[in-house]
Structure 1
Amino acid sequence: MAQFLIVTDDASDWRPYLPSDSMVPVNDYLQAGAYAGQGVTQVLNLCRSYDYLSSGYYCSLLAEARGHRVIPSVMTINDLSQDRFFSLPQAGLDKLPPQDEVLSFKLYFGRCDKPGLERIGRKIFERFTVPVLTVELALVAGKWQVLKIAPFPFQELSDSEQDEFAKYLEIFARKVWRAPKPSRRFRYEIAMLVDEQEKMPPSDKGALKRFIKAANRIGMDLNIIGPDDLSRLGEYDGLFIRATTNIANFTYRFAKTAAQLGLVVMDDPESIMKCTNKVFLSELLANHKVSTPKSLVIMESMQNWELIVIEEIGLPAVLKVPDGAFSLGVVKVKTVEELRTQAQRIFEHSSLILAQEYLPTEFDWRIGVLNRQPIYACRYYMSRGHWQIYQHHQSGRISSGGFDAVDLKQVPSAVLDVALKAANLIGSGFYGVDAKAVNGRACVIEVNDNPSVDHGIEDLFLGDLLYDRVMTEFLRRIQLRGL
């Protein structure tokens, strides 16, 4: 478990709050070699000033030199000292009083009690991770803009503001107030990000339990966290994402934050970016001459795009929304009229569409790749009476075809070769490559950055060995990072 330190200018700064053994005066922290070599340490820098070469600045600077995870980081301090444009998300700001042309408020760890500011508070804190920020917004031409974002000394908070600060500090770092639960001590701890509300998560509960047991067997603790636990990442050595990833949702923010903190991340933000957009992936694979179905990116502004699709792809064809997942945003079109109708529907949400050759097969291959090596193989059969593995019914019900997991030796060499070539273009993380074998030709359909691992499906051949391999790779990377 990470050590938590609260650094202030003076011990008296903490008098309004509950006593804490975690509180350290900055002069003590700045002593040469202080608090070094004590394992994972998270530092909350509450110094009055973060000005260049001040004690607060040196606190963050030395924390990073010691390998501590510090809030705010030196990069954040430097960013705040410059006039940089900050794009303000407008969603939710319609709740703000329209008669106010200027709005000032404070954020405590990205939170405040003003309604309508939840999203902007979270966004600002993700961009400028500072304990207390003062923010000024201005209503210009009917749109809210940022006038000011600046650190605010917690020592100067009023009594009511101190209450807010204490409340949100408790949410941010509950360890300050609570004694740690008695538990077995592990050398390393990994956070496993799960979305309890997700209907089709990458791993079911049976698989999650087996990942935890596999981590425990090699001396690591694997703790489940959720979408609201971004601030807890500093406690861990690694992040394992077991929620469906997308650039636009919380998973990318978690991956990026964890990478910035120096955690081992599966999968990393670059892999998420590359894999979750099918247009990017199609271009990447084509440029490296990886075999895929015939593909074409179309835009609504293209002249005679319907004829181009028919000439280059043919009918039936498959149209894909660039960032769809689990067969969502994927349609098959058989006629020119279906092509126009479905494309216009997709164009309402995306400026680009990926059109691909339709290759009917009894099943798709899924090759699991970890650290540039294949570790499992699974066959997913098409849903009965349907052309895809998953069938989404109008009632909301989802049906799927059968499956089997096989020894890698039983996989056609052409499928393994093309899967490895595709995965290695993405990186060295944990990927699931979907491929088809048609008339002796193997081609890649897509690369998934957080492949499904469900108990009784992907682990059907390897059993617990599959979970052991993934957790052992986490351990290897964490140990390499510490060298």
Structure 2
Amino acid sequence: MSDWVILATTLASFDHAATAHKVLTTRDYLARPELFRGARPNIINLSRSYSYQSRGYYASLLAAARGQRVIPSVETIIDLSARKLYENAIPELEDALNKAISAGPDEAAPARLRVFFGTSADPRFERFCRLLFDWFRAPALEVTIKPGSWSSIPRIALLPLGKFDGADKEVFYAAMARYTARQWKDAKSRAPARFSFATLVDPSEEMPPSTIDSLKHWARIAARMGVSVEPITRKDLPRLANFDALFIRETTSISNHTYRFARRAQQEGMPVIDDPVSMIRCTNKVYLDELMAANGIPVPPTVMLIGPEDFQRAADQLGFPMVLKVPDSSFSRGVSKVGSMEELRKLAGAWLADSEVLIAQAYMPTSFDWRIGVLGGKPLFAVQYLMAKKHWQIVKHDTGGKPLEGGFKPFTLAQVPPLVLDTGLRAARSIGDGFYGVDLKETDDGVFVIEVNDNPNLEHGVEDAAEKDEVWTRLTNWFIERIEG
């Protein structure tokens, strides 16, 4: 059976020569659910109407209930039913629209722009159309444009197939062919994969949480479990819904595209690591400190710094040296040790110019940090990260060249001290049900949580060195269980 199914109000309304995919009437799709029982086709809903309680509306609604990907989703249909429901997207879209107009030739923008699968016949609006498709994943959209010194967008609407003219149909069918090409599928595969997972990567990232080689190792294991794994980049957001799950393997931030990918995956009902809530919680150390304290999980003594008036209080409670942190720092960046009030005033004063809140913590010198990997509330791996040579952190950045990392020592889960393992599990479970890396310090005074990472390192030969391929098998099963559930 084809991976794609096209829904049309009548078979006569669709050019069957324009696609190799199965074309079905909306009525048959609604009335005959047994046609796709046990299958997960991707549905393109080209009904004559998407109005509330129409057949087109119910086609998208029931596709979701049947566990099938559908474009447009019922959420998109509802969002575009009234301007007040999509007005939060207008500022970003109008900005992209006006940039396209100003960068192109000196000619007026059209009064109406028709967008098919994130493309249009006018190359000036290529980036705008992709952004529009990012916001509203629909086969065909019509954007009403009000010209002026700043062109505005009074209306965005779904465009049914019946409203196309001859030229529109040619552009539309070409765009649909590109969209449904399924280029990610391995043509050499002996048997089709049950599921397709996307892994979001940045090939140029200096210190990614997983290297491409590690992801290739995972792909080989996943393939034996009926799963295909494909790396995607930030340009592939329009294709995201073609996959069944998303594994983000870039350093995450709620202020960049990684958060948008996580939100889109969640909106599509896809299992995703990292999920948006975990990203929000884990990427801010102020929140983590409050959350750990609220759950009775030990953390180093901490003082929040909101202004210079807090410096003396930090010195009195923590003493020197102390550790100063920017709330959304990662990979040891934005984390520094200060040894005196003078150093504290100088560094904190500079950092407060960019972040209105900092945290200071008691310095706890150790020769290593524990990292407990937790997946779905259960321990996944354990490793000790050793401090970089002649440095107090596991990564030394100010080397004048590449960052210097300490070594590592893998442990089976059975070898981990029970208090370390239990504390790591409690910390991760307070965040959610995803994949987390809990950093802990084991001292004479007890075990303390330093950080909970939402996209922890997972490198073949490091984090999986003790538990071997069981790590990758359990990761794959985490996604499969949620897809099938």
Displacement of 1:446 in angstroms is 0.8
Q: 1:362 aligns with which of 341, 364, 367?
A: 367
Displacement of 1:22 in angstroms is 2.6
> Structure 1 residues 336 and 143, CA, compared in 2 at 3 Å: closer, same or farther?
farther
Q: Tell me, which stretches of 5 or more residues in structure 2 are unaligned?
A: none
> Structure 1 residues 115 and 456, CA, compared in 2 at 3 Å: closer, same or farther?
same
Q: 2:431 aligns with which of 421, 426, 430?
A: 426
Separation (CA, whole Å) in 2 of partners of 1:191 and 1:246: 18
Residue in 1 aligned with 2:457?
452
2:438 aligned with 1:406: no
CA contact (8 A) 1:95 1:115 kept: no
Q: 2:139 aligns with which of 123, 131, 156?
A: 131
Displacement of 1:123 in angstroms is 4.5
SS of the residue 1:304 aligns to: helix
2:293 aligned with 1:291: no
CA contact (8 A) 1:192 1:222 kept: yes
Displacement of 1:144 in angstroms is 6.8
Separation (CA, whole Å) in 2 of partners of 1:94 and 1:336: 50
Residue in 2 aligned with 1:341?
346
CA contact (8 A) 2:143 2:157 kept: yes
Worse-matched range after superposition: 87-96 or 468-477: 87-96
Read off the aligned partner of 2:319 and give its amino acid letter. G
Q: 1:201 aligns with which of 208, 223, 242?
A: 208
Displacement of 1:39 in angstroms is 1.2
Residue in 2 aligned with 1:255?
262
Separation (CA, whole Å) in 1 of partners of 2:151 and 2:324: 38
Worse-matched range after superposition: 17-26 or 434-443: 17-26
**1:356-412: CA deviation from partner (whole Å, max 9, x where unpaired):** 222221111101112222222111111112221112236441111111102334333
SS of the residue 2:304 aligns to: strand
> Structure 1 residues 319 and 166, CA, compared in 2 at 3 Å: closer, same or farther?
farther
Residue in 1 aligned with 2:66?
66
SS of the residue 1:355 aligns to: strand
Separation (CA, whole Å) in 2 of partners of 1:376 and 1:337: 41
Separation (CA, whole Å) in 2 of partners of 1:284 and 1:147: 43
CA contact (8 A) 1:8 1:47 kept: yes
SS of the residue 1:327 aligns to: coil
2:284 aligned with 1:277: yes
CA contact (8 A) 1:294 1:356 kept: yes
> Structure 1 residues 19 and 421, CA, compared in 2 at 3 Å: closer, same or farther?
closer
Displacement of 1:288 in angstroms is 1.3
Worse-matched range after superposition: 438-447 or 33-42: 33-42
Displacement of 1:428 in angstroms is 2.1
Residue in 2 aligned with 1:86?
88
**1:413-434: CA deviation from partner (whole Å, max 9, x where unpaired):** 3222211110010122221101
- Please show how residues 92-131 of structure 1 align to structure 2 within 5 Å: 95-97=99-101, 104-112=112-120, 113=122, 115=124, 118=127, 121-131=129-139
SS of the residue 2:247 aligns to: strand
> Structure 1 residues 216 and 115, CA, compared in 2 at 3 Å: closer, same or farther?
same
Separation (CA, whole Å) in 1 of partners of 2:2 and 2:349: 52
Separation (CA, whole Å) in 2 of partners of 1:203 and 1:467: 12
Q: Tell me, which stretches of 5 or more residues in structure 1 are unaligned?
A: none
- Please show how residues 140-289 of structure 1 align to structure 2 within 5 Å: 146-175=153-182, 183-289=190-296
Q: Say which structure is richer in helix.
A: 2
> Structure 1 residues 291 and 21, CA, compared in 2 at 3 Å: closer, same or farther?
same
Displacement of 1:439 in angstroms is 1.8
Separation (CA, whole Å) in 2 of partners of 1:236 and 1:243: 18
CA contact (8 A) 2:48 2:56 kept: yes
Q: 1:320 aligns with which of 325, 331, 334?
A: 325
Read off the aligned partner of 2:11 and give its amino acid letter. A
Displacement of 1:304 in angstroms is 1.0
CA contact (8 A) 2:134 2:237 kept: no
Read off the aligned partner of 2:26 and give its amino acid letter. V
Count of residue pairs the alignment pairs up = 475
Residue in 2 aligned with 1:384?
389
Separation (CA, whole Å) in 1 of partners of 2:336 and 2:329: 11
Separation (CA, whole Å) in 2 of partners of 1:260 and 1:323: 25
TM-score calculated relative to the size of structure 1: 0.87
Separation (CA, whole Å) in 1 of partners of 2:138 and 2:455: 31
User: RMSD across aligned C-alpha pairs, in angstroms?
Assistant: 3.1
Displacement of 1:145 in angstroms is 5.5
Separation (CA, whole Å) in 2 of partners of 1:181 and 1:76: 35
Read off the aligned partner of 2:21 and give its amino acid letter. D
CA contact (8 A) 2:130 2:238 kept: no
Separation (CA, whole Å) in 2 of partners of 1:234 and 1:70: 9
Displacement of 1:449 in angstroms is 1.6
Worse-matched range after superposition: 447-456 or 464-473: 464-473
> Structure 1 residues 228 and 415, CA, compared in 2 at 3 Å: closer, same or farther?
same
- Percent of residue pairs bearing the same amino acid type: 39
> Structure 1 residues 473 and 29, CA, compared in 2 at 3 Å: closer, same or farther?
closer
2:29 aligned with 1:29: yes
Separation (CA, whole Å) in 2 of partners of 1:144 and 1:245: 34
2:442 aligned with 1:437: yes
Read off the aligned partner of 2:388 and give its amino acid letter. S
CA contact (8 A) 1:92 1:117 kept: no
> Structure 1 residues 124 and 60, CA, compared in 2 at 3 Å: closer, same or farther?
same
SS of the residue 1:105 aligns to: strand
Read off the aligned partner of 2:136 and give its amino acid letter. F
CA contact (8 A) 1:195 1:226 kept: yes
